[in-house]
Each structure stands twice: as structure tokens, then as C-alpha cells.
Amino acid sequence: MGRFVRKSYLFLILFWSCSPVSAEAYLTVDDYRQLDASHQRAWIAGVVDGLLLMSQGSNLSGRRWLLDCIRERTMDQLHQAFSKYIKTNPDYWQYAAAGEFAMAMNESCPKTPFW
């Protein structure tokens, strides 16, 4: 599956929870970068809550490892992983931050479930 399709799918899953600190339809990565650290963490918490809520009752067996990885991380670990991802991918700063957050977690989490 191509990067665009994966990002589109993940963006749609997370769209409604994209930005508890913004009245816009979604927050871009560049908008996210302008937030102070406490607002960044609040935004991440909202996206994670949305992702975990959307996974309830869904057949996400192929992505269960990703949800488990996110669930087991602290807010600081999630924040650091996303910060590292966006620093190394400035070409994506105009994209929706929720989709890029999902891509960052996809890259930073181990590809096998924790036992």
C-alpha cells in the first residue's frame, strides 16, 4: 500500500480528534510546531485518545502492534518521537499533523507485538 493511501486512511481515522487546541478543521505540522510544549502534549493526547477510541470494535488486527506500542509509551516518549520525526521531515510540515503523527508512530514503533 502506498504512502499516500496509508496516510489518507490514518488521517481519516484521526480527523475528528485532530486539534483540541485549534478551531480549524485540522492542524498542520507547521501549526503544531508553533504550539508551546504543553499544548503540543495536549494535542497528542487528543489524537491518541481518538485513535484508541476509533480502534474499539474495529478489525485492526494488522495494526494491533501499533496501538499496543502507543498505549505503552509515556506522553514524553510520544512527544519526543513526533518531534524527531517532524525535524527530519520538513517536507511534510504543510500536511495534517494527525496523519504525520500516525506515520511517526508507524516508523518509531517495533513492527512486532510486545509479549
Spatial separation of the C-alpha atoms in residues 115 and 68, rounded to whole Å: 10
The number of C-alpha atoms within 13 Å of 93 and in the hemisphere containing its C-beta is 13
Q: Tell me: pLDDT of 25 over 60.
A: no
Strand partners, 96: 28
pLDDT tens for residues 90-105? 999 999 999 999 899 9
pLDDT tens for residues 36-47? 999 999 999 999
DSSP summary character for residue 110 = -
pLDDT the model gives residue 21: 47
pLDDT the model gives residue 17: 47
What pLDDT band is residue 106 in, cutting at 50, 70 and 90?
Answer: confident
Identify the sign of the CA torsion 103, 107, 112, 115: negative
Q: Tell me: pLDDT of 110 over 90.
A: no
**Under 8 Å CB-to-CB from 74, ≥6 apart: which residues?**
none
Q: Tell me: pLDDT of 52 over 50.
A: yes
**Which residue, 63, 66, 110, 107, is CA-closest to 88?**
107
pLDDT the model gives residue 76: 95
Spatial separation of the C-alpha atoms in residues 55 and 18, rounded to whole Å: 16
**Segment 69-87 mean pLDDT:** 94
Angle CA(107)–CA(111)–CA(112) in degrees, nearest 5?
A: 155
